[in-house]
Structures are given as structure tokens and as C-alpha cells.
Amino acid sequence: MGASHTVLKGGGILAGYSIHVRPTLSSRESINARELGPSFVGGLEDPGYLAKTAGFVDTRVMDVTPHFRETCIAWIEAMEFFEEELRAELDQSDYRDELRNKKDMLCGIDKGLLMRSLIVCKKEG
């Protein structure tokens, strides 16, 4: 976020979706969340605070987790529907890895550990 703040013009906007751990998790829950989520999910626990620390103003964090959950389910269902073709085309470990990745994400959401937000913030100026 700090790097984005630097390259933005004054008044410019940083906007995007990000998966992150839910704030106020216990230590054990945080560890579990990091295991289930994407590679660097642990570094984005409080996007609003991080945006402020990076120098942004007018930060809005909008929870899009329900839609994210539907997206995960859609991926899993589609990958299982085409399992035979995918296994024939891909390296076996690649298919398993990708499917597990999606299922872990869904598990993290359903356990209340992971969420996804649309984060919009502005550089003053």
C-alpha cells in the first residue's frame, strides 16, 4: 500500500479486492486462517488501518465475503464437474493443489476466519 501511495498523484485512488483474515481472531484462529488462505493473507488483517498507515485518507472497506463464498463454490463445482478432463490435461498434483486451494478458502470463510473486501482509499492532494 505504501508503494501505491508513492506512485499515485494527489487525489488519486487505490481500489481493489483483497482476501484477508477477520480482525480480532485468537492466535490459534490466526494460524488456522493463514493455513487456509492465500500466501500472504496474514499481512492484511485490518485493511483500513494499513491504508491509513500508508498515508491514505477517505478509506472505505466493503465486505464482499458472501459473493466471495459463491465464487469459491462455483469454482469447486466446475472443477469437480470437469474432473476427468482436468485430470487428463493437468499434472495430477496441480489439479489436487488447485482444488484443495479453493476448498481451503471456502473452509476458511465458513469458519469465520477469512473474508474478502473491496478496499477504496484516496491519496490526499
The helix/strand/coil state of 105 is helix
Judged by beta carbon, residue 29 or residue 44, the one nearer other proteins is 44
Total Cβ atoms within 10 A of residue 51: 24
Site string for other proteins, 72-111 (x = CB under 8 A): x-xx-xxx-xx--xx--xxx--x--x-------x------
Which listed residue (24, 71, 100, 104) binds other proteins by CB under 8 A?
A: 71
Residue 38 binds to other proteins (criterion: CB under 8 A): yes
Torsion (CA) 69, 72, 73, 74 in degrees, nearest 10? 120
13 binds other proteins (CB under 8 A): yes
**Short-list 101, 94, 97, CA closest to 71:** 101
What backbone torsions phi and psi does residue 75 show, to the nearest 5 degrees?
-60, -45
Q: Is 31 in the site for other proteins (CB under 8 A)?
A: no
55 lines the binding site for other proteins (CB under 8 A): no
57 in contact with other proteins (CB under 8 A): no
CA distance 42 to 20: 7
**Residue 35 in contact with other proteins, rule: CB under 8 A:** no
The reply to whether 9 sits near other proteins by the rule CB under 8 A is yes
